[in-house]
Amino acid sequence: MKYSFATRAEWIMGSPFKHIRLNSQQASFVSLAEELPASDLFPLEALHTAATTVLSSHPMALQYGDAEGFIPLREWIRAEWKQHKQMEMNMNQILLTTGSQQAMDLIARVYVDLGDAVLVENPTSPGCLQILRMQGATIIPVEGDQEGLRLQSLDELIERHHPKLLFVSPNFSNPTGVLWSMDRRKQVLDCCRRHKVLIVEDDSYGDLYFEDTRTEGPFSRRYPTLCALDEHGKGGQVLYIGSFSKTVAPGLRIGFAMGHHQLIEVMGAAKQLADWQSSNLNQRLLYQLLESTTFDWHEHVALLRREYRIRLRLMEELLKRPAWRNARYHLPTGGMFLWIQLPGGLQSELLLKSSISKGVAFCPGTLCCVDKKLGMEAIRLNFTHPGRDELLLGMHLISEAVNEFTARS
Amino acid sequence: MKYSFATRAEWIMGSPFKHIRLNSQQASFVSLAEELPASDLFPLEALHTAATTVLSSHPMALQYGDAEGFIPLREWIRAEWKQHKQMEMNMNQILLTTGSQQAMDLIARVYVDLGDAVLVENPTSPGCLQILRMQGATIIPVEGDQEGLRLQSLDELIERHHPKLLFVSPNFSNPTGVLWSMDRRKQVLDCCRRHKVLIVEDDSYGDLYFEDTRTEGPFSRRYPTLCALDEHGKGGQVLYIGSFSKTVAPGLRIGFAMGHHQLIEVMGAAKQLADWQSSNLNQRLLYQLLESTTFDWHEHVALLRREYRIRLRLMEELLKRPAWRNARYHLPTGGMFLWIQLPGGLQSELLLKSSISKGVAFCPGTLCCVDKKLGMEAIRLNFTHPGRDELLLGMHLISEAVNEFTARS
């Protein structure tokens, strides 16, 4: 039969990473393309212990739970984010989701009508772009610099397009890794408040900072989330999105949204029809882990920070090789990605094709830009997933591919 | 700030079960309202063993997995459904989802444009109605009888509305528990094929039949799914939806869609933006359980069937009490629900209010009907979740409430 899909089905076809994933299932393939944390650092043993406790205690762990998520875990998040990130939320302002991706999809579903203007940082994450395409949003990219979004562009674009939403990631934006300055945070918040634009703040990478906090003081005081800056942490102008995918394990699929109870209530209704609820078992596992006396989440994230910093430094060293001579990039101070402008004229998609044939992949910049032309000469490298040997091999293979192109031209 | 939600946010507000759930968290409250399997029959110990194996083997269990789902589990489903349900699918025709609810939401998102006509059985499940409302579908109810959908109504409604989709559940429809006859299955399939209407077949309850198959022969031969009847099990006209929520445990949140690869591909792209993927950990747990030598899925489902049949019989006995004298119902031969037309003039929502105050809840018929008026005098009772004592208590309390109303009138 001939299927008559909805119009929006055309807008979302061509899954960004499918081709890359198919290749990366080969044994020796190195993928620097995806948004993967280090598998070798997962708290496997501690989770195993947690599973034993959860599964030997009560069959309710396997039953349907609350659509909004397991109450003790929401309470844990509430207390932790209050103490360490100066965010003042009540329980009815927290919704657990299937990763941060679902939180973004839910706010888009309940907030964006066909044709509504939505602002995004340029470049932005492929996942965010796909969500907004699905809703038929008019996606408007906002340029930024190393301090964050450029205020003048933001202001002009708001005046011109009257957007409903602004999607940002002030703490290590995906893909650029930019960390916004305090001034820029306040200015962007003020600007959106003035124009009544709701900010969606994705803080999935916010705990992965590489600075030495012993000398500098608490990170979250110097780089507070927009949500923490908003009405003394009470939010309203900001829907905050967090995740345990990068700080514990993505296999649990646990993210969350925090914000005004009106937003959370409507998102909760949409969540219920979207999948009834996320896995109650996984939420109990995570809660058991976080509450366990043998696991310390803060120490675990500190371990990730140390190791990821080492991996980034290794990548930095490898980028000093001749192949990358004319490439431009800013070293991020956190997150999982390095965003590179390729040496003159080199096209990211062509380079990807050649790299895949050598056994390595990265994310081409075109997937991160509303207007593909803007990302044609850029690539995103993930430095957290590959172990050090893989990083060496992967970067060596991409360098080889770069060399072949530059030798030709 | 004043939020400006999308238009569709208005259509979905008022989560059907929120009020009931809030009450059911009280210790002695009995809920016959929800779609819950029996917690006391979960294979807790076997899942514990599976968790030990999965979490002591490989950290990949905690990493992101394939968007389409864990390949060995999809392969298990493919082989099992081929052998026992005569369905002939390839691997690229199977998508794992977060429960059957997500599978329904995904097909609606990629297939239904605003205003498109969609047919549903009347009455139908609250979850299905919420999904279609979210898409802004024009929902057209089709009447049925104890054999299935009435063919003449179906034909007329198709001619009049040119719907894109028909949502059905031929094996123990939610809420009526109707099991369609073989003739009706063939006729509905033919009718939809003739009119090019895609059928979405929810088979979540299909394994919960109470007949004695030793005397009658294999259930799936006498009541094949529409998908199995379609092109010798190759599908095309039917998108099939299954779930392990009712046969293993809902806390794992594992459902799946099977159908033409074009449908599955587009749904897979939508799935990726909706939540990237379902929990890889849970999919590996389920696979480990299904492959374990100490757990037999067929025996487990047979146990559920025996116990659920006993609970239904108990409910049947309790319905012989005077309070229910003028109520009308057909005893289902499977599934999880009993659909009751209340004694003359009694309103389900008023009865619910009074019942909740006594400590028991059920699902009012209004939640299962496109036109609420049609469900005003009906209720849905779940007989699988409450243990026998709870069933006794719950039914006693509802009877009391019914008596109070009928005494007054």
A6 lies in some domain: no
pLDDT of B17 strictly over 70: no
Question: pLDDT tens digits, residue range B216-273?
Answer: 789 999 999 999 999 888 889 999 999 999 999 999 999 999 999 999 999 999 999 9
Q: Are residues B371 and B350 in the same domain?
A: yes
pLDDT of B50 strictly over 80: yes
Question: pLDDT tens digits, residue range B100-111?
Answer: 999 999 999 999
Residues of A in contact with B102 (CB under 8 A): 274-276
pLDDT: which is higher, A198 or A211? A198
Q: What is the CATH number of the domain that holds B322?
A: 3.90.1150.10
Of B63, B260, B282, which has the smallest distance from its Cβ to A39's Cβ? B63
End residue of a domain, out of B269, B291, B313: B291
**Domain limits at A78?**
45-291
pLDDT of A212 strictly over 80: no
- Stretch A376-388: mean pLDDT: 95
- Domain total of chain A: 2
Distance CA A343, CA A346 (A): 6
CB atoms B42 and A51 under 8 Å: no
CB atoms B198 and A56 under 8 Å: no
Interface of B with A in 10-49 (CB under 8 A): 12-15, 18, 21, 34-37, 39-40, 42, 44, 47-48
pLDDT of B2 strictly over 70: yes
A321 lies in some domain: yes
Render B160-195 in DSSP notation, one character per residue.
Answer: HH--SEEEE--BS-TTT--B--HHHHHHHHHHHHHH
- Stretch A21-41: mean pLDDT: 85
Contact status of B98 with chain A (Cβ, < 8 Å): yes
pLDDT at B15: 57
Distance CA B409, CA B346 (A): 9
B2 lies in some domain: no
Q: Are residues B306 and B246 in the same domain?
A: no
Residues of A in contact with B263 (CB under 8 A): 3
Q: Count CA within 13 A, CB hemisphere, residue B174.
A: 25
- Stretch B118-130: mean pLDDT: 96
A342 lies in some domain: yes
Single out the residue of B146, B217, B143 nearest to residue B178, CA to CA: B146
- Helices and strands in chain B: count of H runs, count of E runs: 16, 13
Question: pLDDT tens digits, residue range A52-83?
Answer: 999 987 899 999 999 999 999 999 999 999 99
Question: Lowest-confidence range among A211-220, B37-46, B69-78, B121-130?
Answer: A211-220
Q: Are residues A177 and A282 in the same domain?
A: yes
Contact status of A115 with chain B (Cβ, < 8 Å): no
End residue of a domain, out of A269, A291, A313: A291
Sheet of strand B138-142, all strands in order from the earlier edge strand to the far edge = B94-97, B255-258, B238-243, B198-202, B165-168, B117-121, B138-142
- pLDDT tier at B191, thresholds 50, 70, 90: very high
- pLDDT tier at B27, thresholds 50, 70, 90: confident
Question: pLDDT tens digits, residue range A320-357?
Answer: 999 999 999 999 999 999 999 998 889 999 999 999 99
B55 lies in some domain: yes
CB atoms B15 and A269 under 8 Å: yes
- pLDDT tier at A18, thresholds 50, 70, 90: low
Q: How far is B24 from chain A (nearest CA, A)?
A: 11
B93 lies in some domain: yes
Average pLDDT, chain B: 94
Q: Are residues B323 and B374 in the same domain?
A: yes
pLDDT at A233: 83
- pLDDT tier at B373, thresholds 50, 70, 90: confident
- pLDDT tier at A170, thresholds 50, 70, 90: very high
Express as a percent the part of chain B with pLDDT over 70.
97
CB atoms A3 and B268 under 8 Å: no
pLDDT at A84: 96
B151 neighbors B174 (Cβ within 8 angstroms): no
Distances (CA, A) of B172 to A85, B121, B203, B208: 50, 12, 8, 8
Interface of A with B in 231-260 (CB under 8 A): 236-237, 245, 249-253, 260
